[in-house]
Amino acid sequence: MMIRMDARRKAQLDEFLARIQVSSFDQWHLLDAALTHSSYANEHQCGHEYCNERLEFLGDAILDMVVGEYLFLHYPHMMEGDLSKARASVVSEAPLADVCRDLNMGQYMLLGHGEIKSGGKFRHSILADAFEAVVGALYLGGSYEMARTFILTQLQPYLQRIQNGHYGRDYKTQFQEYIQQDGEHNITYVLCAETGPDHNKTFTMQVCVDGSIRGVGSGKSKKEAEQCAAQAALQKVYVKE
The binding site for Mg(2+) comprises 56, 129, 132
Please choose, from the candidates 95, 103, 102, the residue with its C-alpha nearest in 3D space to the C-alpha of residue 12: 103
- The one-character DSSP state at 209 is E
∠ CA 48-88-22, nearest 5°, is 60
Catalytic hit among 32, 60, 98, 226: 60
From the candidates 32, 93, 115, 132, which is the catalytic residue?
132
Query: Quick check: is 60 catalytic?
Result: yes
Residues making up the binding site:
56, 129, 132
From residue 159, alpha-carbon distances to 33, 57, 155, 210, 240 in Å are 28, 22, 6, 30, 14
CA 118/CA 133 separation, integer angstroms? 22
Classify burial at 9, counting beta carbons within 10 Å of its beta carbon; exposed 0-12, middle 13-18, buried 19 or more. middle
Task: Give catalytic status of residue 43 as yes or no.
Answer: no
Q: Where are the beta strands (DSSP E) in 30-134?
A: none
Pairwise CA distance, residues 180 & 169, whole Å = 19
Residue 216 phi/psi, 5-degree rounding, is: -130, 140
Catalytic residues: 60, 132
